[in-house]
Structure 1
Amino acid sequence: MTAADLNRRTALQVFIAGGSAAVLAGCGASGNAPPSSPAGSTNSISLTDQRGRTLTFARPVARVVTIPMPSASLLVAVDRSADHLAAMHNASWVAMRDGIMGAMFPAALDLPHDIATQDFTANVESIRALNPDVVVQWSDAQLIEPLEKAGLQVLGLKNSGTQEDVDAWVAMFAAMLGKPERATELKTRSDRELAEVKALASGRASQGPSILYFNRFTGGLKVAGANSYNDFYIKLVGGSNPPTGKDPLTGPGMVGVDIEQVLRWDPEVILLGNFDAAMPQDIYSDPVWQTVSAVRSKRVYKVPLGGYRWDPPGQESPLMWHWLGDIAFPQQRSLVRDKAAEYFRFLYNHELTKAELDKILRTAENGQSANYRQFNA
């Protein structure tokens, strides 16, 4: 049994006080016993966040401010509406505007999105004025303390970028919305897709390509190193990640590199993330990159953007796993379009159109890249 499998057995316990529902989601957080309900309470909700702090709500939350970037779209997916989202980080808003979340839930684009700086420091007075039931924030003490000192209730999320974290976030959001059964649905579906991707990878006879993910390309190169979600799914589908291979980088997460290092790695596939505007054509047309294997074989791809960016962990991560598997091991016809259509019904109660699927999968931007016709309608 792998360490990841053991981690997935570590339960984040979410307890609905006064009721019998409990949601168990894989999590790297502490496995504290569920707190008892307050005296005299019959409908209160208690849960433990990823700091180990217990939060109690008298009723399901109605107004949620989200600061960590995945949390706005994740809340919408758990709720299947944007009705309880009160404000979000600007980067979350940009993803909604540029993806199709804004088309599915147009009212979300009218919500405040200037409530935190780029480094997630909260604008406390702006948030207080919104009168939220809870503020979702990364669990760093320096980010949470100003909010708690202002009398706000804060749900702390761990920023370690694992699938167990996604499961934990879903469980906490479902609990505080009063929909614990939704967490079970999402985790059951995610686990099924994960098992399918693992089975596909183990059944392949050939070694996968080396795949380099750029979190940033313009204005300085940043790639996914150890303990990143991108490293997880590159290896999940059977590929190798150069920054954690024979010539590894020091330091976890997203690490800055120079072009000489990339040339030494000579990746066979390059993924361009959704945190800047770089596109495959930018690399194909730049003389500096012409000797790289991925460029010579036209295997540079812009990562899809759906209800949220597919490159970090989130509710659409199973679609990223399947998409990347077909990038690494091209098919005559990928099933990702069909899976995405089904997943969007499940997550958002939305029927994707052909044009929306093309936009999500970036069929135009990736049209020059090898084997991308497999994703066409």
Structure 2
Amino acid sequence: MGHFQKMSLFVRQRSATITGLAALLFTALLSLSSLADAGEITDMAGRKVTVPDEIRSVYSVSPPGTCMVYAVAPELLAGLNYAPRPEERKYMSARVRHLPVIGGWFGQGRMPNLETLLQVRPDIILVWQWKDSATTQKIEQTLKPLGFPVVHIRIDTIADYPAVFGFLGRLLHREKRTAPLIQYAEKTLRDTDALQAALSDTERIPVYYAEGADGLRTDCSASLHAELIPFCGGKNVHICESGDSFGMSKVSAEQVVQYDPRVILARESAFYKTVYTDPRWQNIRAVRDRQVFQIPRAPFDWFDRPPSFMRLLGARWLMNRLWPEKYPVDMIQETRTFYQLFLNTPLDRKAAAEILHL
């Protein structure tokens, strides 16, 4: 490459950089100017944040927050973290199904598409990271120059759902909408508390959470991803501290045989369809007793990934699976009630049974 060509290339690159920075600055200024009619709130991390009085669009950097906004005010969602799966699309409005996929900070090294985020220009950005201060700092460092108000929510445990719904109701002026959601969440927590109080440690049922197509990935007993097991009167057989927030530890079939759980929760249908015929699993008590249950996943997983508000229904489902005599509920009717309340989706009994894999 000659001297003139090198200089020409440098000029073009420099011009593109300046243009990109100018566009970024212009967008940031627009975002700041939109706060002219704004007020100061205290977010769930105790931070003072200036937000518009009327919030018209919201982006969450990870699926748990996106799911919360979907339940409270789906019309305010500015974008999605990932392309919806077929079982999710079935229960989403056409508007939400066709929102731009911005991405986010979740999983293994994922990041949002900042160009798409700047195009969408949400009024606020919700941030949630489970006990991961390093990732949260990285998010703040990336978003701060863009000028968007960043609001932290706290969902470290299922017990936080009433407070999160209450906070979002006030923030988004949807208190009437969130009131029955809070009531449902509080009732679920009372039910789990009552069940746990009635059990001794020796009565708790050993449970293995089977992830992956072969069922040989799982999450530690201390992990958010397996939180429903102890909440619902079970005992996670994979006892350990979480190495990271992603989880999905690899285990061997021999290790699961040694655990000998009384119940197996299957996340993937591929595993569930083969577990009763795969010779590696035949000596496990849960398989012999046909106590392998496939976790419902529509429209979002009821148990995990993402750990969303669907876990409120998942808790009732798991209590009924583990303790049908202590927690006798009509899960078909319970599913219909929940979908109408949280998703504005009517279900007949047949559709609810299909979701429950009955």
What does residue 326 of structure 1 align with?
320
Cα deviation, 1:80-103, whole Å, max 9, x if unaligned, reads xx2111101116x23xx313x643
Q: 1:256 aligns with which of 249, 252, 269?
A: 249
Structure 1 residue 250, shift from structure 2 partner: 6.3
- Matched ranges for 1:312-323 at <5 A: 312=304, 313-323=307-317
Select which of 133, 136, 141 maps to 2:137: 141
Give the deviation of 1:58 after TM superposition: 2.5
Shift of 1:220: 7.9
Question: Residue 194 of structure 1 aligns to a residue in which SS?
Answer: helix
Q: Distance in 1 between matches of 2:294 and 2:224?
A: 17
Distance 1:352 1:68 in 2: 28
1:310 matched to which residue of 2? 302
Pair 1:267-2:282 in alignment: no
TM-score by length of 2: 0.75
Shift of 1:235: 2.0
- Aligned-pair CA distance for 1:252: 6.7
**Superposed CA offset, 1:209-262 (max 9, x none):** 211113x32378332224334544222222211123xxx466476351321322
User: How many residues are paired up?
Assistant: 310
Residues 265 and 292, structure 2, Cα contact 8 Å, conserved in 1: yes
The answer on whether the counterparts of 1:45 and 1:56 sit within 8 Å (CA) in structure 2 is: yes
Q: 1:285 to 1:203 in 2, by over 3 A?
A: same
Change (3 A) 1:67 1:252: closer
Q: Which has the higher helix share?
A: 2
The answer for the alignment partner of 2:150 in structure 1 is 154
What SS does the aligned partner of 1:173 have?
Answer: helix
Amino acid at match of 1:148: K
| In 2: Cα distance, 1:329 partner to 1:164 partner | 21
Per the alignment, residue 7 of structure 2 pairs with none
Work out the CA distance in 2 between the residues paired with 1:192 and 1:310.
17
Show the counterpart of 1:107: 95
Post-superposition Cα deviations, 1:57-96, rounded to whole Å, max 9, x if no partner, equal 22231111223112223212112xx2111101116x23xx
SS of residue paired to 2:218: strand
- 1:126 counterpart residue number: 116
Pick the aligned partner of 1:210 from 201, 206, 230. Answer: 206
Question: Quick one: which amino acid aligns to residue 66 of structure 2?
Answer: A
Instruction: Confirm or deny that 1:243 pairs with 2:238.
Output: yes
Q: 1:168 to 1:209 in 2, by over 3 A?
A: same
Distance 1:171 1:144 in 2: 24
**Contact 1:135–1:154 (CA<8 Å) still a contact in 2?**
yes
Q: C-alpha separation between the residues in 2 aligned to 1:327 and 1:292?
A: 18
Paired residue for 1:197?
192
Alignment correspondent of 1:169: 164
Larger Cα-atom Rg: 2
State the 1:127 CA deviation. 0.4
Partner AA of 1:257 in structure 2: K
The 8 Å contact of residues 162 and 186 in structure 2, kept in 1 or not, is answered as: no
Give the unaligned 5+ runs of structure 1.
1-40, 364-377
TM-score, scaled to structure 1: 0.72
Residue 310 of structure 1 and its aligned partner are, at CA, apart by 0.7
- Give 1:186 deviation, angstroms: 2.2
User: Is the 2:43–2:49 contact (alpha carbons within 8 Å) kept by the matching residues of 1?
Assistant: yes
Percentage of matched positions with identical amino acids: 23
Shift in Å, 1:358: 2.3
Contact map agreement 2:62 2:104 (CA 8 A) in 1: no
Measured after TM superposition, the shift of residue 348 of structure 1 is: 3.0
How far 1:297 moved relative to its partner? Answer: 1.6
Shift of 1:319: 1.6
Answering whether residue 273 of structure 2 is matched by residue 285 of structure 1, we say no
